[in-house]
């Protein structure tokens, strides 16, 4: 983990930290470009706040429980814990180091500092009457670790019902479970969305969530008894806590929930939860409802990024288009990699990635534009300041007139290259609307 130096900045000791999280990533496989996209975005956001002298907390980590991981481990002939340890130490942590991610913490949901607090949180809700025992039967996608509503499923050519995200058959699961009274929070959530129009971004994501909640919420099954790779329900150890309840709580347990009140107060809740849009409902519906039930403050913002598309398909390991970030950094370098994805994709929208586009922008924007700027500045420093970069002057705000005098109208790109950039930007927009 890169040092971020809360201590080395002059931020007000008592101020609340600007707290940003990535999703904790599911370690059923190695990271691909999609995971790296969100993590780099959070790194850029937090570096910007840190540079302004603000207190910052940037959290990432891994989600290690659930049936999908248990099955992956079985298929690889190791225990689930061995599987997680291997993936975290050989794939996930090294990638964030490689990409210069300055996270302040890395939480793993199999750590005791997390599992103990998850049990306390759920026990508390149970004691408050927010959780009850019931039965449930419905279509379940192991890939999503989620019961699907029948209306959400898509149909294969032979009539098989498929998960709309994974395009894989769902299983019919029947369980005796514990339920969280999510249905009671619909009106409170709608009131909250109304009072906080910026809570869910982008607008399309907000509309989707508001429409979903307006249809009425069902109570949420928060335990599983058909497998045991999870945090045991404290009052009934035949059950483990639903992996999503376990996972969402990382945002609280990592910053001192029920353990370090001082740290918790100066960090929680997150200012921004960065997520992929496929996990929007968990973060914008279930998570705030859990916090409301517990009397805790809800996050400032849930910002959903779109999908990275390769050849018109969402990129993931399961549809075989997953690309390792290292495949690109070995050619373009880490800084260019970080720059490219934030430059090329409008945050919040789907964006297509291609080697050709990366290559073209690398040459046109990094080498030609920025390279040219750097070379001119270096030449002027040589010519007018004897090769020594003068100290920055304290006048941060210059008059508009002097700014204008520096602008050279003839430098505006013209001709073929400028047009091709415009048309590329336009085609991206049309392909994502």
Where does this chain bind Zn ion (CB under 5 A)? 141, 143-144, 163, 165-166
Smallest gap from Cβ 328 to Zn ion, in A, equals 27
Complex with Zn ion: residue 148 or 361, whichever CB lies closer: 148
**Residue 301 a catalytic site member:** no
**Distance of closest approach, residue 243 Cβ to Zn ion, in angstroms:** 13
Closest approach, Cβ 144 to Zn ion, in A, equals 3
> Which CB, 25 or 362, lies closer to Zn ion?
25
Q: Which of 16, 86, 317, 324 is catalytic?
A: 317
Considering the complex, state which of residue 204 and residue 318 has its C-beta at the smaller distance from Zn ion.
Answer: 318
Query: Among 118, 92, 103, 99, which residue's Cα sits nearest to residue 31?
Result: 92
CB closer to Zn ion, 278 vs 357: 278
Catalytic residue among 65, 114, 141, 283: 141
State the virtual CA torsion across 303, 249, 44, 400 in degrees, nearest 10. 50
Q: Which one is catalytic: 55, 68, 84, 144?
A: 144
Respond yes or no: is residue 317 known to be catalytic: yes
| Contacts of 22 by beta carbon, 8 Å cutoff, 6+ apart | 38, 39, 42, 59, 60, 61, 274
Handedness of CA 35, 91, 360, 413 (dihedral sign): positive
- Name the residue among 27, 35, 24, 186 with its Cα closest to residue 118: 24
Cis status, amide bond into 269, omega within 30 of 0: yes
Q: Residue 56's beta-bridge partner residues?
A: 18
Q: Check: CB of residue 30 under 8 Å from CB of residue 91.
A: yes
Q: How far is the CB of 66 from Zn ion (least distance, A)?
A: 12
Nearer Cβ to Zn ion (148/338)? 148
User: Which lies closer to Zn ion via its Cβ, residue 1 or residue 162?
Assistant: 162
Going 26 to 282 to 59 to 66, the CA torsion angle's sign is negative
Is residue 144 flagged as an active site residue?
yes
163 noted as active-site residue: yes
**DSSP classification of residue 151:** G
Shortest CB 355 distance to Zn ion, Å: 29
318 or 349: CB nearest Zn ion: 318
Distance CA 395, CA 407 (A): 19
Q: Which of 49, 65, 84, 163 is catalytic?
A: 163
Give the C-alpha separation, 25 to 36, whole Å.
10
Alpha-carbon span 229 to 205, nearest angstrom: 32
141 or 243: whose CB is closer to Zn ion?
A: 141
- Residue 161 annotated as catalytic: no
Q: How far is the CB of 266 from Zn ion (least distance, A)?
A: 37
Q: Closest separation between CB of residue 281 and Zn ion, Å?
A: 13
Count of H-run helices and E-run strands, the chain: 18, 17
Is residue 288 within 8 Å of residue 192, measured between CB atoms?
yes
Residue 53: count other Cβ atoms within 10 Å of its Cβ.
11
All residues at 6 or more sequence positions from 289 whose CB lies less than 8 Å from its CB, including other chains? 180, 182, 185, 188, 189
Q: What one-character DSSP code corresponds to residue 109?
A: T
Q: Cis peptide before 420, with omega less than 30 degrees from 0?
A: no
Question: What are the residue numbers of the active site?
Answer: 32, 35, 141, 144, 163, 166, 314, 317
């Amino acid at each position: 983990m890169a040092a971020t130096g809360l201590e080395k900045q002059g931020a007000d000791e008592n101020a609340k930290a600007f707290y940003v999280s990535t999703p904790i990533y599911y370690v059923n496989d190695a990271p691909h470009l999609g995971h790296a996209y969100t993590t780099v975005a959070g790194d850029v956001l937090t570096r910007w706040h840190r540079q302004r002298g603000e207190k910052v907390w940037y959290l990432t980590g891994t989600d290690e429980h659930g049936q999908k991981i248990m099955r992956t481990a079985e298929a690889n002939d190791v225990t689930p814990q061995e599987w997680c340890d291997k993936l975290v130490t050989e794939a996930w942590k090294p990638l964030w180091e490689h990409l210069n991610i300055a996270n302040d913490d890395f939480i793993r949901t199999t750590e005791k500092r997390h599992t103990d607090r998850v049990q306390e949180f759920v026990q508390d809700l149970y004691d408050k009457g927010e959780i009850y025992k019931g039965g449930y039967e419905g279509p379940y996608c192991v890939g999503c670790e989620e019961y699907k509503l029948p209306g959400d499923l898509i149909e294969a050519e032979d009539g098989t019902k498929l998960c709309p995200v994974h395009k894989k058959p769902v299983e019919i699961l029947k369980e005796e479970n514990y339920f969280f009274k999510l249905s009671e929070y619909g009106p409170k959530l709608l009131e909250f969305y109304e009072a906080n129009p910026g809570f869910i971004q982008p607008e399309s994501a907000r509309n989707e969530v508001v429409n979903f909640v307006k249809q009425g919420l069902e109570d949420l099954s928060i335990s599983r008894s058909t497998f045991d790779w999870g945090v045991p329900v404290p009052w009934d150890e035949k059950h483990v806590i639903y992996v999503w309840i376990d996972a969402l709580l990382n945002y609280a347990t990592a910053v001192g929930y029920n353990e370090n009140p001082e740290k918790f107060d100066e960090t929680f809740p997150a200012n921004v939860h960065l997520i992929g849009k496929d996990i929007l409902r968990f973060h914008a519906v279930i998570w705030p409802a859990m916090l409301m039930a517990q009397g805790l403050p809800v996050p400032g913002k849930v910002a959903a990024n779109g999908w990275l598309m390769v050849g018109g398909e969402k990129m993931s390991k399961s549809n075989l288009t997953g690309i390792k970030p290292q495949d690109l950094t070995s050619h373009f370098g880490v800084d260019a990699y970080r720059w490219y994805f934030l430059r090329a994709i409008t945050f919040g929208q789907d964006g297509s990635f291609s080697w050709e586009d990366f290559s073209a922008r690398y040459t046109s924007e990094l080498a030609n534009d920025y390279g040219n700027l750097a070379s001119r500045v270096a030449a002027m420093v040589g010519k007018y300041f004897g090769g020594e970069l003068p100290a920055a002057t304290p006048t941060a705000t210059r008059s508009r007139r002097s700014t204008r005098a520096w602008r050279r109208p003839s430098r505006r790109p013209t001709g073929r290259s400028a047009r091709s950039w415009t048309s590329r930007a336009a085609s991206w927009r049309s392909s994502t609307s």
